[in-house]
Amino acid sequence: MNTGRFFGAALGVWIVRVALNWTFYTQVVGNEFKQITDAHPGMFREVIPAYIMTDLIFALAFAFLFVKVGAAMGGGAKAGVKLGIYVAILSSVVCILYQFYSVTYLSVGLAVTDAIFQVIAHGIEGAIAGLIYRT
């Protein structure tokens, strides 16, 4: 593993992930979540620094996973996109389904929109990892 490229890939994934999450959750579906929050005061927390640090943990884990399996998937951005989609389906999409079946405030539209966003965002993040970490 090339340490410099690993940290470069993790940094790239982290920056892109924070930007994508901010854009989606504040600009695209922010009003829907605001309505849910208004209807259920005190139910949600908004701790932006914690979100950003959680994105850093994801970026480090994802970059490490890419380093280990990226070459077996063909390397480069294409392998990153594939890995990103697999990770999205195994984690984010399954989590959204659990949430949808567990709580009453999550609409079908919001759950589907979130799942689609996660697949696209993870694919983009994977492409970034693949472009930065070249073997």
> Are the beta carbons of 87 and 62 closer than 8 angstroms?
yes
Give per-residue pLDDT as tens, 89-121: 999 999 999 999 999 889 999 999 999 999 999
- What is the distance between the alpha carbons of residues 103 and 106, in angstroms, rounded to a whole number? 6
Give per-residue pLDDT as tens, 63-94: 999 999 999 999 999 999 999 999 999 999 99
Domain coverage including residue 73:
3-132
Model-level pTM? 0.92
Distances 130 to 38, 39, 42 between C-alpha atoms, Å = 41, 42, 41
Instruction: Say how many domains are in the chain.
Output: 1
